[in-house]
């Protein structure tokens, strides 16, 4: 990935990575790694796993603070909507993540850049990368910024 592309991606994300290899990994789908054996960066599934956990923590923490009188069941229902594939893919689309994904030929041919699951997974991987790069506070700020539309709609 060229340096210019890194700058563009980071501008879109509104986060500057200290470890750009994490960003590259977060944007690399398994299909790219399988068709590009010489590719230096691994695919994003490890970061996706981590990002999912960080996302769950941050959203739970935010909801508990926003709605101190809600029951566990009510909070769980709200959280499920916020961390759903549909919600995450919409947030990823606002960030234009699809254009930056590194995909194999098969995913390119089947419009992988527009697939809800790939976009949601890439956003979770970015969250995991931000967490490893900048810590929990950076990940919290990133998630709150990325989901600001969804959090704002809850307060209305």
Cα separation of 63 and 95, whole Å? 23
| Catalytic-role residue among 48, 52, 107, 133 | 52
Q: What is the dihedral of CA 104, 10, 38, 131, to 10 degrees?
A: -100
- Phi/psi for 102 (5° steps) reads -100, 110
- Choose, from 25, 48, 107, 124, the residue flagged as catalytic: 124
* 52 tagged catalytic: yes
Q: Is 7 considered catalytic here?
A: no
**Catalytic residue numbers?**
52, 124
């Amino acid at each position: 990935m060229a340096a210019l592309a890194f700058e563009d991606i980071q501008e879109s994300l509104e986060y500057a990575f200290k470890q750009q290899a994490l960003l590259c990994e977060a944007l690399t789908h398994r299909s790219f790694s399988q068709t590009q054996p010489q590719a230096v960066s691994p695919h994003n599934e490890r970061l996706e796993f981590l990002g999912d956990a960080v996302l769950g923590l941050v959203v739970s923490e935010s909801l508990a603070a926003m709605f101190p009188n809600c029951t566990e069941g009510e909070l769980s229902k709200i959280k499920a909507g916020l961390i759903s594939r549909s919600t995450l893919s919409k947030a990823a689309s606002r960030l234009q993540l699809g254009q930056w994904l590194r995909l194999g030929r098969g995913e390119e041919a089947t419009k992988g850049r527009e697939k809800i699951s790939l976009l949601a997974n890439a956003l979770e991987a970015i969250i995991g990368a931000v967490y490893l790069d900048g810590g929990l506070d950076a990940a919290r700020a990133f998630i709150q910024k990325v989901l600001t539309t969804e959090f704002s709609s809850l307060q209305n």
